[in-house]
Structure 1
C-alpha cells in the first residue's frame, strides 16, 4: 500500500462520518418536529375534552417519538393547565396529569381528527394555591371580620399539632394517612386595628372530593418568639380556618381523589384512573 492511498482512505472515512452525523442530526430534528406537531394537536384536543379556556401545556415523553408513533402507542403524555376556576372561590387551580400507554394512530394524532383515544392509566393531581385558600377563609363572615391575609402554607410534623406533648408517633399511631396530613398555616389578622401574626397547626383531610381544614393549635408570633393566643381570639380563628373546599370534578379523566398533600404554599389532591376513553364526554373538568 502506497502512502498516497492511505490519506485518500482516511479522507473517505472522515466524509462518511460527517455524512452520518448530519443524517443523525436531521433525524433527531425531524423527530422533535413531529413530536411538536403531535403535542400541538394533543393540546387542542385536551382543551376541548377538559373544557378549558386556553390550550394546556403538553409534553410527549420518550425518545424517539417516531418509534412510538409507528406503534400508535405513547408511553407517557404529560398535560398541565394553570389558572383553572372552580366556583367563585377557587380561581387558580393547577392541574397536572400523566397519561400512560396512550393508544391512537399517528395519522389521527397529527391531523387532530382522533375521535376515540384509549388510555391505560392516568395519574392526576390538582394544586390549590395559598391565594385561593386565603380567599376561602375570607369567604366566611368570621374570616372577613378578622381580615385573614398574607397566608403561607407548609407541611408540619405530628408532634406540632397539639399543645400537650405527645409521644413520637409510630406508623400505626400517626394521624397521617393518604387522606389526612399535617399542615402549618401562617397568616395575619387585624384585631382592634392592630395587626397580629398567627401560626396555626392542624390536619388537612380528604373526604370524597372535599378538602377539610381542621385546625388544632394556634400560636401568636411576636417578633422571634411565640405566645399563646388569647382565649377570646381562639374560637373565632378556629371558626375562620375550619373550612371545606369542594374540588368537584377538578381532577380530569374520571380520576378519583385518593390522596391529599401539603406542598410549599399549596394544598394538593391526587388520584388515578384506568382504562379511560377520550371522546366519551366524561373526562372534562367540572
Structure 2
C-alpha cells in the first residue's frame, strides 16, 4: 500500500520574486506611459493655445498676445473630436482712449479646430459656436476719466473705490445720522442698469473728506454711463450734510461716460455689472469665426 504524503510546505521563494518583479515592471511601464500622455496633453494644449492666441490678437487688434486657456479634462480627447468645450481669452492693460488699463475677457464655447489642421497650417479661421465677451474698467481708469472734470474737488479725488449696491440703495438715502450699509452681497445682478457706490477722498474746506456718490450705471451707445443720484460726505469731525439743493448743483459734475472700446469679437453689449473695484460691460454672440483671413 502506497502512502500519499500531502505537501504542506510554503510556496517556493523564487516564483514569488518573479511575480513581484513583473508587477513592478508593469507599474513602472504604466507610470511612464501616463507621464508621456500627460506631457503630450500639455504640449499639444500649449501649441493650440498659442495658435488661438495669435488669432485672438488679430481679432482684438492687440499689441501683445492675450492669455488663452483650454478648459476640459483632456485636451487630446477634445483634439481628436476637433471641438473644444471652453476656451478663455484674457487681455490686460489694454489702452482705450483716456483709459489705460482695460481688461478684456472672452469665453469661447464650442470651438471647432482640429489639431491636425492647426499643425499643418491649413486652417484659416476657427469657428466658435458661442462667445461671451466682457470688458472691465478699473477704479484707476474711472479716476483718470474724472480728472478731466472742470470741478477742482472732483479732479482732486484720490483712492477711488468702486462697490456694488442695489438700485434701491442708490435712490433711498438712509435715515438721519446713519450711513448706507454695505450691500455688496445683495447688490443687483447684471442687467441693463446697476447700482454703484463711488467713494474717494478730497480736500473740502481744508479738511480731508470721504466723498461717496451713489449712481446708476447703464449702457449708452456701447459706453458705460454713470448717472449720480445722491452723495454722502464724511470727515474726521462728523458727517457733512449737504442740502438737496446743493447736491443737485454738485451731482452733475460726477456724470461721466466711460468708453471701454468694443467688446471682443464684435459682441453686442447687452448688460452692465458692478463688481468690487470694477465696472464692466458684457454681451453674447453666436456662430463666429476667430481669426478669419
Cα offset, 1:162, TM superposition: 3.5
Question: What is residue 188 of structure 1 aligned with on the other side?
Answer: 201
Are 2:89 and 2:106, in contact at CA under 8 Å, matched by a contact in 1? yes
1:272 corresponds, among 284, 287, 292, to 284
- Residues 134-173 of structure 1: pairs in structure 2 closer than 5 A: 134-142=143-151, 146-164=155-173
Question: 1:45 & 1:279 partners in 2: Cα distance?
Answer: 4
Are 2:55 and 2:290, in contact at CA under 8 Å, matched by a contact in 1? no
- Residues 63-142 of structure 1: pairs in structure 2 closer than 5 A: 63-87=73-97, 89-110=98-119, 114-142=123-151
Question: 2:236 & 2:121 partners in 1: Cα distance?
Answer: 58
2:44 corresponds, among 14, 34, 55, to 34
Question: 2:117 & 2:59 partners in 1: Cα distance?
Answer: 16
The answer for unaligned runs of 5 or more in structure 1 is 167-173, 282-286
Question: 2:190 & 2:125 partners in 1: Cα distance?
Answer: 37
Question: 1:175 & 1:216 partners in 2: Cα distance?
Answer: 17
Residues 146 and 82 of structure 1: CA distance in aligned 2, closer, same or farther (over 3 Å): closer
* Secondary structure of the corresponding residue to residue 272 of structure 2: strand
Question: 2:173 & 2:82 partners in 1: Cα distance?
Answer: 59
Question: What is residue 275 of structure 2 aligned with on the other side?
Answer: 263
Question: 1:136 & 1:75 partners in 2: Cα distance?
Answer: 38
Residues 212 and 120 of structure 1: CA distance in aligned 2, closer, same or farther (over 3 Å): same
* Alignment size in residue pairs: 272
Provide the TM-score with structure 1 as the length reference.
0.85
Residues 85 and 62 of structure 1: CA distance in aligned 2, closer, same or farther (over 3 Å): same
Q: Which has the larger radius of gyration?
A: 2
Question: What is residue 179 of structure 2 aligned with on the other side?
Answer: none
RMSD: 2.6
Question: 1:238 & 1:112 partners in 2: Cα distance?
Answer: 57
Cα offset, 1:256, TM superposition: 1.1
Cα offset, 1:104, TM superposition: 1.6
Are 1:39 and 1:59, in contact at CA under 8 Å, matched by a contact in 2? yes
Cα offset, 1:255, TM superposition: 1.0
Question: 1:13 & 1:136 partners in 2: Cα distance?
Answer: 68
After superposition, the C-alpha distances for 1:20-53 in whole angstroms (9 at most, x for unaligned) are 1111111111110111122122212221221101
* Secondary structure of the corresponding residue to residue 151 of structure 2: helix
1:15 corresponds, among 20, 25, 28, to 25
Question: What is residue 212 of structure 2 aligned with on the other side?
Answer: 199
Are 2:56 and 2:291, in contact at CA under 8 Å, matched by a contact in 1? no
Are 1:213 and 1:242, in contact at CA under 8 Å, matched by a contact in 2? yes
Cα offset, 1:153, TM superposition: 0.5
Residues 60 and 3 of structure 1: CA distance in aligned 2, closer, same or farther (over 3 Å): same
Cα offset, 1:175, TM superposition: 8.5
Are 2:189 and 2:273, in contact at CA under 8 Å, matched by a contact in 1? no
* Secondary structure of the corresponding residue to residue 161 of structure 1: helix
* Secondary structure of the corresponding residue to residue 265 of structure 2: coil
Are 1:210 and 1:244, in contact at CA under 8 Å, matched by a contact in 2? yes
Cα offset, 1:271, TM superposition: 1.0
Provide the TM-score with structure 2 as the length reference.
0.83
Question: What is residue 170 of structure 1 aligned with on the other side?
Answer: none
Question: 2:268 & 2:137 partners in 1: Cα distance?
Answer: 17
